[in-house]
Amino acid sequence: MAAVIAPVEGRRGRFVRRGMGDAGHSRYTVPMSLSPPPGGFQGPVKRSITIAGHQTSISLEPIFWRALERAAASRTLPLSALVAEIDVLRIADRAPANLASALRSWLFANESNSKM
């Protein structure tokens, strides 16, 4: 069972523990200004992509796959070409992160820069 969510008067912006709920889950309140992402919270989806002639599997949440697809379309690139370009940047780093982390980081930085 999921954690119980209820607003607490006078505690906006803070998580407040409210004892143990059903099935031993802690109950937390969340500010009323928060809401789940469109479509709710979803776990990762694995896809196979060819990068530099090699097949690789990448696990990302659907929201990141959609963001990658939009980024590729805005650059008129196939998804695999955008992932390959990000992979080249990742490999050039002194301490390369795994590919899924690099994709999420690139998307976040790209989205943040586009809003400035």
Burial classification of residue 103, based on how many CB atoms lie within 10 Å of its CB (0-12 exposed, 13-18 middle, 19 or more buried): buried
Beta bridge partners of 55: 50
Report which secondary-structure segment, H or E, holds 19: strand 16-20
C-alpha dihedral sign at 114, 30, 61, 94: positive
- For residues 62 and 68, the answer to whether their CB atoms sit within 8 Å is no
Query: First CA to last CA across the chain, in angstroms?
Result: 40
Q: Which residues, given as ranges, of the chain have pLDDT below 70?
A: 1-32, 114-116
**Amino acid 2: pLDDT:** 47
- The pTM score is 0.69
Over residues 43-70, the pLDDT tens digits come to 999 999 999 899 999 999 999 999 999 9
Give Cα 70 distance to the centre of its chain.
15
